[in-house]
């Protein structure tokens, strides 16, 4: 019986994570639908959560189709982003992004990229918010009140009283 541990190949991101993030920014802003095929592994998974809406795909063909939908959405809304590397290690790159919809709103989010042994993306998760505002914004308070009344009222009460829950 062989008792040696199985050799698991290390996943590896691109040698220059800053360049990877810059290319991801370019692909987003230029709506490079076909470029996605050069980045993702054939069996990769992709999940994009935007303001609570989850768009997900598994496998390069489904990722390509869902990325096409996202690119058409971004084009229709005039979304542009600026991406910045947050951190990277032997198998992951994390970047944050800021952007605007038609130059009007403060969009922001974070992306987590995991890589396979060939340096292709095996999993990507994006979490984003298309219209962020200060917790003191009257409009944000109203939006929260409509969407999450109990949460909005609890937050407002605790902020006003300065007490713990």
Q: What are phi and psi of 30, to 5 degrees?
A: -95, 0
Q: Going residue by residue through the chain, which has 165 residues, state the pLDDT in tens, using 9 for 90 and above.
A: 444 444 444 456 667 999 999 999 999 999 999 999 999 999 999 999 999 999 999 999 999 999 999 999 999 999 999 999 999 998 999 999 999 988 887 999 999 999 999 999 999 999 999 888 888 888 888 888 898 899 888 888 888 888 776
Strands 40-50 and 121-129: parallel
- Looking up tokens 């992306």 gives 111
CATH 3.10.450.50 segments of the chain? 17-129
| Topology of domain 17-129, CATH | Nuclear Transport Factor 2; Chain: A, (3.10.450)
Distance CA 60, CA 121 (A): 10
| Rounded Cα distance, 19 and 65, in Å | 25
- CA atoms of 116 and 98, how far apart (whole Å): 27
* Structure tokens, 29: 């802003």
The whole-model pTM stands at 0.82
């Amino acid at each position: 019986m062989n008792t040696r541990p199985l050799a698991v190949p290390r996943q590896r991101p691109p040698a220059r994570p800053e360049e990877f993030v810059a290319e991801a920014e370019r692909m987003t802003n230029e709506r490079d639908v076909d470029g996605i095929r050069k980045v993702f592994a054939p069996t990769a998974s992709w999940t994009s959560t935007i303001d609570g809406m989850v768009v997900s795909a598994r496998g390069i063909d489904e990722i390509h189709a869902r990325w096409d939908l996202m690119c058409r959405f971004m084009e229709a809304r005039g979304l542009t982003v600026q991406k910045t590397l947050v951190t990277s290690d032997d198998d992951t790159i994390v970047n944050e992004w800021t952007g605007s919809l038609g130059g009007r709103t403060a969009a922001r989010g974070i992306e987590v990229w995991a890589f396979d042994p060939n340096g292709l993306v095996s999993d990507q998760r994006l979490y984003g918010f298309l219209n962020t505002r200060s917790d003191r914004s009257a409009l944000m308070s109203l939006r929260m009140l409509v969407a999450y009344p109990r949460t909005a009222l609890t937050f407002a009460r605790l902020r006003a009283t300065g007490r713990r829950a």
